[in-house]
Amino acid sequence: MTTIALNDDILKLAEELASTEGRPLEAVFEDALREKLARGSSPIPNRSLRLPTFRGTGVRPGVNLDSNAALLDLMDEADDLG
């Protein structure tokens, strides 16, 4: 038997899953670890991502990029115009 330290949130979720499935907690962790190991251990390559940039004068006056609601309103206005 081995003792490991776990994040409390992960432990709580695992305990809930074990209870729901009527299985021992150890079995839940063993299955999760087996599944992860079966997928392989090759990490996803760290590729740099180039985003396209465009010329312009910046954000239109009155546009608030911090407000989802304001952006949705502007998009709805654009749909109504075209």
DSSP H helices in the chain: 8-21, 25-39, 68-81
Give the C-alpha separation, 32 to 14, whole Å. 10
Give the C-alpha separation, 32 to 13, whole Å. 12
8 A C-beta contact, residue 74 and residue 63: yes
Count of CB atoms situated within 10 Å of the CB of 25: 13
Q: Is residue 20 part of a domain?
A: yes
Q: Is residue 67 part of a domain?
A: no
Q: Is residue 16 part of a domain?
A: yes
Q: Is residue 48 part of a domain?
A: no
Share of the chain above pLDDT 70, in %: 95
Number of domains in the chain: 1
Q: Give the pLDDT of residue 20.
A: 95
- The domain of 19 spans 8-39
Question: In the predicted model, is pLDDT for residue 70 greater than 80?
Answer: yes
Q: Which residue has the higher pLDDT, 74 or 45?
A: 74
